[in-house]
Amino acid sequence: MQFQKLRDFISNKFFVIPEASSSPERYKALRRNITILMLFVTIIPLALMATINYYQYKNSLQSEVINPLRILTNKTKLSFELFLEERISTLKFITSAYSYEELNDENIINDILIVLKKEFDGFIDIGLIDDKGIQISYAGPYSLEEKDYSNQPWFHKVILDGDHISNVFLGYRKFPHVAIAVQSYSDDSCCWMLRATIDTKKYNELIAAMQLEPLSDAFLVNNEGILQTRSRLFGNELEPCPIEIPVGGGETNIIEATDNEGNEIFIAYSHFVDTDYTLVVVKPSSLILKTWFTFRTEIFFIFVGSVLIIMIIVFKLTDIQVNRIRQAEEKHELAFRELEHSQKLSSIGRLAAGVAHEINNPLAIINQKAGLLQDILTSGSGSSNSERLLKVTQSIVQSVDRCSVITHRLLGFARRMDVEYEELDINEVINDVFGFLDQLALHRNIKIERKLDDSLPKISSDRGQLQQVFLNILSNAYAAVDEGGSVCVESYPKGEENICIAIKDDGKGMSKEEMSRIFEPFFTTKIGYGTGLGLPITYGIVNKLGGKISVDSEEGIGSTFTICLPLKSKSIKIENNE
Amino acid sequence: MNKLKVLIVDDEQDLVSTLGERLEMRGIQTQVCTDGICALDIMKKNPPNVVVLDVIMPGMGGLEVLDVMNSMNIKIPVVLLTGYGSKKKGEEGIKKGAYDYLMKPMDIDELISVMKEAINSNDPQENGN
């Protein structure tokens, strides 16, 4: 049902061209509709394909490029956590293996530090802190015995959680380091803790092990947004990090952001579980999606190129198709109208021939009767009355002659339907046609000028067809001029093979646009009463007779139609050859 | 030379009678009739020197008369009368043995001269007989 409606809508919208609209607009609408449809059916699938391709490629590229980044970030975070876990476990082992008293022994604690430094990377010093927060025993490069840590936040955190890993800090030592502490209890349930510091060299080593590209960056940042390791892009340790990392979530996430310089970047981050560190890896999008951008540009240009080619082909094809349709329709219509026209002329011709023939008989009787009267009068005595009667009969005979010329002309015109080639004097044909239009010229006071070259050779052509040609052009000329205007007909030779006839009027003339279309079927300037067929038929006849017709016109000045005819028409030549 | 004897055949009674009278006035003996059968009858009984024959007549037309004359071997020269539109029929008549054709309305002097030419063209044959 829906499909039916859609089909009806498309066919009504695109293929039903209103017949009432004038010809050029009809073809313009047809051209527009076919173009839209063809573009629609070709560009939509192309655009769909390009879009699907675009997103599929983007997705696959993202999974190929972004997943490794996620894995690398996760792996490095685990390495960090393992490193810290290992240090905490070592301290826990020492608190289990040694008693408070043993650790309070300077020699023992020094031995332990020596072993730690030897077996584990990064340990700088180690100290024993009592339940009051006083460092009662210390092994390391500084003199930190008796230092009171009771006011330090980490001290209370250790009491609460049992262990602690600090953020990176400078402390008394003025170089970045991290403190780790674990809590233990004596046999008398007295609480004490073992605290060690480790330098951040290992942190940098772990980040270096990620083997990032030169434009990428990786660093640790704490929950307050303070850098814990040096960042290539955002500064040194303990400086605030300018990018904001979302809080929460244990898994590795990747977000897209823009750096200070406006470049698009991918940020992979992963929060540590036991400490408030977050590992951040920054990669410029351009680096990750370089191939993606190339692909995007390529697909864009291929799409635009294809669309352009499709459009050119569609426009060209539509133009050819519509022109063909128009030509075929015009040809068909012209043939139909020509047939109709010739049938009409043929019936008029037959009627005229019948009338003319029937009139000839009574004319012959009048002629003979008048002749007899003349004979009687001339044979009798010459009275003044008989002389007068003789004049009257002469006048009757002259009128009969005139009638006879008219009937001959009518019959001659009626015969024009039968194509017949004969030797003819073109000036005579022109004069015959003027005979038909004399009365019209007289009534409208049109001045007729004939510059006919009497020395023109006879031509082989069809009298009837030529009569129609001149009748059409002269009728148009008469219609174009105002009352009192003038029409000039000139015949002259052109080379040795042709003769030309120029029909010039001083009427309203035509614009260039009108001039270029006057030989098109159904184009008329006589809106309301012109058929638009006179000149196309004329053009067809002149062509058929092997001649050429041209027009020259200027608006407000007048028009000149020039017909050039060969001395021997083509068809005659063919017959002769045969 | 004997008095010229002409047979005028046309379905218009008025035309044949007037034409006959005018020819008589010019010293030409005329016989008239208004159809082909009567014309053939006269040709057999009282053959004229020349026949002026209308091409289009009700019943037997001029061309049919020529056919009958040919079949009956009547060798009298014939001048046809045609309308302007029947030019072709005139030419057809010439093929069937007519001497010439004139178009209506014709001039009497022209008719007489064509008749005389027709008789002259036929004379050697007659002499031969």
pLDDT (tens digit per residue) in A562-578:
999 988 765 444 333 33
Cβ A389 vs Cβ A374: under 8 Å: no
Q: Please, what is the average pLDDT of chain B? A: 87
The partner residue sitting opposite B25, judged by closest CB among A357, A367, A379, is A379
* pLDDT tens readout for residues A242-301: 888 888 777 888 888 887 778 888 889 999 887 888 999 988 877 666 777 788 888 889
In a domain, A330, yes or no: no
Q: How far is A355 from chain B (nearest CA, A)?
A: 10
Chain A residues near any Cβ of chain B (below 8 Å): 353, 356-357, 360-361, 363-369, 371-372, 375, 379, 400, 404, 407-408, 411-412, 414-415
pLDDT over 60 at B124, yes or no = no
Q: Is residue A475 part of a domain?
A: yes
Kindly list the residues from chain A whose CB atom is less than 8 angstroms away from the CB atom of residue B19.
Answer: 368
What's the pLDDT score for residue B56? Answer: 85
Q: Of the candidates A288, A315, A349, which is a domain's last residue?
A: A288
Q: Are residues A161 and A283 located together in one domain of the fold?
A: yes
Question: What is the Rg, in whole angstroms, of the alpha carbon atoms belonging to chain A?
Answer: 57
Query: What CA–CA distances, in Å, run from A576 to A323, A458, A464, A504, A546?
Result: 38, 17, 21, 35, 15
- Closest residue in B to A406 (Cα) is B84
| Chain B neighbors of A411, CB-CB under 8 A | 83-85
Residues of B in contact with A369 (CB under 8 A): 14, 18
With a cut of 60, say whether residue B126 has pLDDT above it: no
> How many interchain CB pairs under 8 A, A with B?
62
**Domain match, A400 and A251 both:** no
Chain A: give the shortest CA distance to residue B110, in Å.
13
Give every CB contact of residue B23 below 8 A, 6+ residues apart in sequence: B6, B8, B30, B108, B112
Residue A189 pLDDT grade (very low, low, confident, very high; cuts 50, 70, 90): confident
> Is B116 within the bounds of a domain?
yes
- Assess whether A191 and A252 both reside in one domain: yes
Contact between chains at A357 and B14 (C-beta distance less than 8 A): no
Taking 80 as the threshold, does the pLDDT of residue A532 lie above it? Answer: no
Polymer length in residues for chain B: 129
**In terms of Cα–Cα distance, which of A494, A484, A488, A506 is closest to A564?**
A494
Distances, alpha carbon A58 to alpha carbons A54, A230, A306, A410, B100, in Å:
6, 33, 21, 86, 102
Question: Long-range contacts: A482-485, Cβ < 8 Å, 24+?
Answer: A482/A507, A483/A444, A483/A445, A483/A446, A484/A445, A484/A446, A484/A447, A485/A446, A485/A447
In a domain, B69, yes or no: yes
pLDDT digits (tens, 9 = 90+) for A27-76: 888 888 888 888 889 889 989 998 998 888 878 877 777 788 889 999 99
Distance CA A80, CA A202 (A): 9
A570 Cβ neighbours under 8 A, 6+ residues apart = A545, A546
Supply the range of the domain harboring residue B101. Answer: 5-122
| Residue A151: DSSP 8-state | T
State which residue of chain B sits closest to A372, comparing Cα positions.
B22
Work out the percent of chain A whose per-residue pLDDT is above 90. 15
Query: Greater confidence, A331 or B115?
Result: B115
Secondary structure (3-state) at A187: coil
Q: Are residues A122 and A251 in the same domain?
A: yes
Residue B80 belongs to some domain of the structure: yes
> At residue A221, what are phi and psi to the nearest 5 degrees?
-140, 145
Give A410→chain B minimum CA distance, Å: 9
Q: Is the pLDDT of residue B105 over 60?
A: yes
Contact A357 B86 (CB under 8 A): yes
- Provide the residue type at A340 as one letter: E
Assess whether A279 and A349 both reside in one domain: no
Checking if the pLDDT of A203 tops 60, the result is yes
Q: A400 contacts in B (CB within 8 Å)? A: 105
Q: What average pLDDT does the segment A530-547 reach?
A: 77
Cα gap A216→A219, rounded to integer Å? 11
Contact yes or no for B22 and A372 at CB 8 A? yes
User: Does the ipTM exceed 0.90?
Assistant: no
Regarding whether A233 and A105 lie in a shared domain, the answer is: yes
Band of the pLDDT at A18, cuts 50, 70, 90?
low
Reported as a single tens digit per residue, the pLDDT across A208-255 is 888 888 888 999 998 888 888 888 888 888 888 888 888 877 788 888
Total-model pTM: 0.43
Residues of A in contact with B85 (CB under 8 A): 353, 356-357, 411, 414-415
Beta strands at A253-258 and A135-139: parallel, antiparallel or unpaired: unpaired
Question: Given pLDDT bands bounded at 50, 70 and 90, which one contains residue A14?
Answer: low
Helix then strand count (H, E) for chain B reads 5, 5
Please choose, from the candidates A194, A179, A161, the residue with its C-alpha nearest in 3D space to the C-alpha of residue A94: A194
Does the structure show a pLDDT above 50 at A464? yes
Provide, as residue numbers in chain A, all residues whose Cβ is less than 8 Å from the Cβ of B81.
364
Beta bridge partners of B81: B54, B102
Q: A390 with A538, same domain?
A: yes
The confidence band for B129, taking pLDDT boundaries of 50, 70 and 90, is very low
Nearest to A33 by CA among A322, A352, A356, A360: A322
For residue A370, give the chain B residue with the closest CA.
Answer: B18
The most confident of A156-160, A517-521, B111-115, by mean pLDDT: B111-115
Q: Note the residue count of chain A.
A: 578
Sheet with B78-82: list strands edge to edge: B29-33, B5-9, B50-54, B78-82, B100-103
Query: Is the CA virtual torsion A199, A203, A206, A208 positive or negative?
Result: negative
Rg (alpha carbons) of chain B, rounded to whole number: 13
Domain with A520 in it: what CATH number?
3.30.565.10
Euclidean distance between CA atoms A68 and A216, whole angstroms? 14
In a domain, B74, yes or no: yes
B87 vs A482: which has the higher pLDDT:
A482
% pLDDT > 70, chain A: 88
- B25 CB neighbours in chain A (<8 A) are 372, 375, 379
Chain B residues whose C-beta is within 8 A of a chain A C-beta are 12, 14-15, 18-19, 21-22, 25, 56, 81, 83-86, 103-106, 108
Interval B23-48: pLDDT, tens: 998 999 999 999 999 999 999 999 99
* Distances in whole angstroms, Cα of residue A292 to Cα of each of A65, A201, B16: 10, 37, 111
From the list A412, A423, A558, the residue with the least C-alpha distance to A477 is A558
**One domain for residues A431 and A565:** yes
DSSP assigned state of A134: B
Mean pLDDT of A359-370: 86
pLDDT (average), residues B78-86:
79
Q: Where are the alpha helices (DSSP H) in A444-524?
A: 463-480, 512-517
A368/B108 touch (CB, cutoff 8 Å), yes or no: yes
**Are residues A360 and B104, on separate chains, in Cβ contact within 8 Å?**
yes
Q: Chain B closest CA to A375's CA: distance in Å?
A: 7
Angle at A121 between CA A115 and CA A125, to 5 degrees: 60
A118 and A207 in a single domain? The answer is yes
Instruction: Give the pLDDT score at A309.
Output: 93
- The C-alpha atoms of residue A369 and residue B15 are separated, in whole angstroms, by 8
Confidence of residue A17 (pLDDT cuts 50, 70, 90): low
Domain presence at residue B14: yes
Say yes or no to pLDDT of B114 above 90: yes
Q: At what angle do helices A201-208 and A23-97 cross, to 10 degrees?
A: 140
Q: How many CB atoms lie within 10 A of CB B40?
A: 20
A492 in the same domain as A432: yes
DSSP code at position A111? H
Say if residues A529 and A476 touch (Cβ distance below 8 Å): no
Q: Where are the beta strands (DSSP E) in A200-315?
A: 217-222, 253-258, 264-271, 277-284
- Does the pLDDT at position A421 exceed 50? yes
CATH no. for residue B87?
A: 3.40.50.2300
> B129 in a domain, yes or no?
no
User: Are residues B106 and A367, on separate chains, in Cβ contact within 8 Å?
Assistant: yes
Q: Which of A218-222, A532-536, B70-74, B96-100 has the lowest mean pLDDT?
A: A532-536
Of A288, A317, A352, the last residue of a domain is A288
Which tens digit of pLDDT belongs to each residue from B42-70?
A: 999 999 999 999 988 888 889 999 999 99
Residue B53 · residue B45 · CB < 8 Å? no
Determine the average pLDDT of the residues in A537-563: 87
- Containing A72, the helix (H) or strand (E) segment is helix A23-97
CB contact under 8 A, A375 and B25: yes
Residue B78, pLDDT > 90, answer yes
Give the whole-angstrom CA distance, residue A229 versus residue A79: 15
Q: Which residue of chain A has the CA closest to B14?
A: A365
**Cβ pair B47, B71 in contact under 8 A:** no
Q: Can you read off the two tokens belonging to residue A493?
A: 């030779």
**Which residues neighbour A139 within 8 Å (Cβ) at sequence distance 6 or greater?**
A106, A109, A110, A112, A113, A125, A126, A127
Interface contact A368-B85, CB threshold 8 A:
no
* Higher pLDDT pick, A417 / A447: A447
Structure tokens at A446: 């049109």
Q: Has residue A530 got a pLDDT over 90?
A: no
Q: How many domains does chain A have?
A: 2
Preferred mutation among A346, A355, A357, A365 to probe B, highest tally of B CBs within 10 A? A365
Residue B32 falls inside a structural domain? yes
Which member of A363, A368, A411 has the closest CB to residue B18?
A368
Q: Do A364 and B15 touch (CB under 8 A)?
A: yes
Contact B105 A372 (CB under 8 A): no
Q: How confident is the model at residue A23 (pLDDT cuts 50, 70, 90)?
A: low
Q: What residues pair up with B60 in beta bridges, in sequence order?
A: none
Q: What is the pLDDT of residue B42?
A: 93
Q: Return the pLDDT at B106.
A: 86
**pLDDT score of A127 more than 80:** yes
B80 bridge partner residues: B53, B101
Average pLDDT on A406-424 reads 66
Cα separation, A543 vs A438, in Å, equals 28
Structure-block tokens of residue B78? 């014939």
Cβ distance A365 to B86 less than 8 Å, yes or no, reads no
pLDDT at A342: 67
Phi/psi of residue B77, nearest 5 degrees = -65, 140
The first and second tokens of residue A38, run together, are 């063809």
pLDDT value of residue A75: 92
- Residue A503, domain extent: 338-577
Number of domains in chain B: 1
What per-residue confidence (pLDDT) applies to B32? 93
Alpha-carbon distance B13 to B35, whole Å?
Answer: 10
Whole-number average pLDDT of chain A:
82
Nearest to A375 among B14, B22, B103 (CB): B22
Interface test with B, best of A358, A360, A379, A407 (most B CBs within 10 A): A360
SS3 state at A416 = helix
Please give, rounded to a whole number of angstroms, the shortest distance from the CA of A434 to a CA of chain B. 21
